[in-house]
Amino acid sequence: MDVVYLFHEAGNIRIPFYDDDKPLFTRLTQQGPGSWDAQNHQYIACARSTGEQALARIFADIPHVIVRQDAETPVTVHGFFGQNWDGAGRMELPAPILSDKPDFFPPEALARLETELYARKYSPKTMQAYIHYNRDLCRTVQKPPEALEAADIKRYLALLEKTRGFSASSMNLAMSAVKFFYRNVLNRDCVREQRRPRQDKRLPSILAKPEIGQLLDAVQNPKHRLLLMLAYSSGLRVSEAVTLKRDQIDLARKTVFVRGGKGRKDRYTMLSDVVAESLREYYKLFTIDNWLFPGFPADCHLSIRSAQKIFDKALEKAGIAKDASIHSLRHSFATHLMETGTEVRYIQSLLGHASVRTTERYTHVAKRDVLRVQSPLDTPGGG
C-alpha cells in the first residue's frame, strides 16, 4: 500500500486496506486507538482528539490522505516528498471524491444548505444524509444544482432503485433531501410533480420469547449480554442503546431516560427488574463513569456496527434461523407487550413513536387475537 486514505465519517475514522501492508497492520493493531473490522477489511477508530493524535503518530512517516466529509478543507495530503498540502496551501485539491465522477456540488451551495439545516436545528444524522444525497445527485447526473431539471431528479431516483437496490424508505429520504435543498436554498420547486415511491409494506422480524431466552443464553460476555437485554427489555433503538450513559439509568425508579432519541425527543422507558439486577452486577465488574457500553478507545461509546455483530454472533450461536437484526429486539419488545394486552398508546410512548399508526403495525404480527382462532386442520374432521 503506497498511499493510505483516512476517511472521517460519522464520528469515526475509517482506514480501508486494499492491499496487504503487514507492517502498517501490525502498527495499527498494536499501537492504534481503534479496532480491526475483518468483515469489511478496514480499521476503525473514534474521531476524537485522542484518536487523531494517536493515528498522527503512527502515520508520521507514511504518505497518507485525510478525507473529511463536508469540512472547509475536505482533503489534506501528508508525507509526500516531506511536504503537506491542503485546500488553502500549495496544492489545490477538490472536495472528496468517493467515485470516479467529479463533484458538481459547489462549496457555496454546501454552505447555504448547511445554514438552512442548522437554522432549523436538524439532527446531525439528517444533516449528513441531506448533504450526501444532494452531492450524490449532482455527481451522478454530472450537473451543478442550478442546471438540474425535474427529469434529472427522476432519473437519479430511478437509478437508486435500479442500480443500487434502494428501499422505498431510502428513496424517500433522498427525495426529501433534494426537495429541501431546492425549496429552501434555491427557491425552486422542480420536484413538485415527482411522486414519492410506494412504501414497502414489510412486517418486522419478531423473535419469540423462548428465542429471546436462547439468544441471551448464548452470550457469555456480561457487557454484550447486558446490551442485548436492555435493547429488548426497554425497547431501545440500537443507536439509543450504544449511547446510553450511567446517569440515564435510574435503578430506584426502574426507568431508562432516552436523551435525544429519534426526532431529538427525550422519553422515559421501563427498566426490567432482571436488567436492574444485572446492572448492579455489571457495575461491580466494570468501572462505568460515563458510557454504559464503552468502545475502543474508552472515551468513545460502542459503535452500532459492533452492536450488530454482537447480535449476529449470538443469533448464530443460538441456532436461530431467522432473518433478524438487533433492531428485531425492539420489534419483539413492542409485539410481546401487545400480545399481553398492553394498550397501544402506552407502547407508543415507550417506543417514542410520533404517530400511533407506526405503533399499530405491530398488530399485524402480534398473536393476541390470532391465538383465539383455531386452524381448520385442528378442528374435528380437519385432518
Is 238 or 20 the better-scoring residue by pLDDT?
Answer: 238
Assess whether pLDDT exceeds 60 at residue 220: yes
pLDDT mean across residues, the chain = 80
Amino acid at 91: M
Q: Can you tell me whether residue 141 is helix, strand or coil?
A: helix
- Measured distance CA(164)–CA(99) in Å, rounded: 14
Alpha helices in the chain (DSSP H): 22-31, 49-58, 107-119, 124-141, 150-162, 168-184, 209-217, 222-233, 238-242, 273-285, 304-318, 327-339, 344-351, 356-360
Of the listed 262, 267, 317, 361, which one is catalytic? 262
CA dihedral 307, 313, 318, 319 (to 10 degrees): 130
What pLDDT was estimated at residue 42? 81
Assess whether pLDDT exceeds 50 at residue 94: no
**pTM for this model (two decimals):** 0.62
pLDDT tens for 193-217 read: 666 766 666 677 889 999 999 999 9
Q: Can you tell me whether residue 228 is helix, strand or coil?
A: helix
What pLDDT was estimated at residue 96? 37
Domains within the chain, CATH numbers bracketed = 4-86 (no CATH), 107-184 (1.10.150.130), 209-364 (1.10.443.10)
Structural contact between residues 32 and 90, judged by C-beta atoms closer than 8 angstroms: no
pLDDT tens for 106-122 read: 888 889 999 999 899 88
Q: Is 331 a catalytic residue?
A: no
Q: Is 330 a catalytic residue?
A: yes
Of the listed 14, 179, 225, 330, which one is catalytic? 330
pLDDT tens for 157-193 read: 888 888 777 778 888 888 899 999 988 998 887 766 6
Is 72 or 169 the better-scoring residue by pLDDT?
Answer: 169
Q: Is 41 a catalytic residue?
A: no
What pLDDT was estimated at residue 193? 62
Terminal-to-terminal C-alpha distance of the chain:
67
Which grid cell sits at 376?
A: 381448520
Q: Is 336 a catalytic residue?
A: no
Of the listed 237, 301, 331, 336, which one is catalytic? 237
What pLDDT was estimated at residue 233? 93
Of the listed 327, 361, 367, 368, which one is catalytic? 327
Q: Is 14 a catalytic residue?
A: no
Q: Is 284 a catalytic residue?
A: no
